[in-house]
Every structure is written in C-alpha cells, then in structure tokens.
Amino acid sequence: MQQEMQDLKEKILQVNRDLFILEEDLLFPSSTQVNVFVSYDSLEYFQLDGITLKFNDRPISNHLYTERELAAMNRGAVQRLFTGNLPVGEHELIAIVTGIGPQGRDYRRAVSLDFDKSSGSKYIELIIEGDEYTKQPGFRLKQWE
C-alpha cells in the first residue's frame, strides 16, 4: 500500500511538471518571447532602488528591490525582470533606474535600446556598473546573441 501511494505521488509530480512546461510554452512561445535581465556591479556610490521597463512607450514592468535581492545581486546574481511576448518587428525598450546616487542624493536615469524582434527568443540585459574615474553609475542595455 505504501509503495502504491509513493508511485502515485511520483506520477502526480511528473504530470504537474509536464503541465507547467506546457503552460510556459503556451504563454510564452519561443517565436515571440522576449526576456529582460539585470546585472548589478556592487557600487559604493550607487544603491539600486527600483527599475521600470517600457516597451514602445508602454509600461510593462516595475520592480522595487529588497535588501535580500540587492545582497544576492552584489554577489553576482542576475535577475530576470521580464518575460513576455512581442510581435516580429521594430521595438524600443526603455529602462528607468532609480536609486541613491553619489552624496546620498536621489538618482534617476533612463537608457533605451531600439531592436529588431525576429522569429525566436530575444534576450536583453540591463547592465548597471560603475565608472571608477567619475565615481558615477553607468547603465546600458545589451542584446545577447
């Protein structure tokens, strides 16, 4: 009886995994999928507070960071900010970054990227890194090949 229950639990878990994969494929087909990630170089003169993403001037994502997330990113973690669908064609991504900048002042900067969405998945990374010479944070968007 115990063995039958264990076998049934394993079958249920496998069906649940299969359904999750099917749901992901249906919601975000690879032909229209766009993924946006953020990497953050630990900076002594900038503390990340939040990021807003816009596609074609439409807000699509807004994320405020917790201390735990910032600690993970300071250790090298890369965070997925957005997964969604875009049709094939020309698009613009705008990332608005807020935080605490040099001398403890509020800091807000935007960076944009024009890109061509073709068939297949698109991966874009928002890179936040410091410039040691100017002691200012830098922001750039990079397409993964």
pLDDT per residue, tens digit, the chain (145 aa), is: 788 889 999 999 999 988 887 777 666 666 678 999 999 886 778 889 999 999 999 999 999 999 999 888 888 889 999 998 888 889 999 999 999 987 888 989 999 999 988 878 889 999 998 878 878 888 999 998 7
Positive or negative, the Cα torsion across 30, 61, 70, 48? positive
Question: Quick one: 79 and 125 in the same domain?
Answer: yes
Question: Quick one: 78 and 105 in the same domain?
Answer: yes
pLDDT for position 18:
86
Question: Quick one: 138 and 98 in the same domain?
Answer: yes
CATH code at 36? Answer: 2.60.40
Find the domain containing 18 and state its range. 1-28
Query: Who contacts 130 (Cβ-Cβ below 8 Å, separation ≥6)?
Result: 41, 43, 44, 45, 46, 136, 137, 138
Question: Quick one: 38 and 96 in the same domain?
Answer: yes
Question: Quick one: 18 and 81 in the same domain?
Answer: no
Question: Quick one: 58 and 86 in the same domain?
Answer: yes
Question: Quick one: 1 and 42 in the same domain?
Answer: no
Q: Token pair of 13, please?
A: 């878990």
This prediction's pTM: 0.75
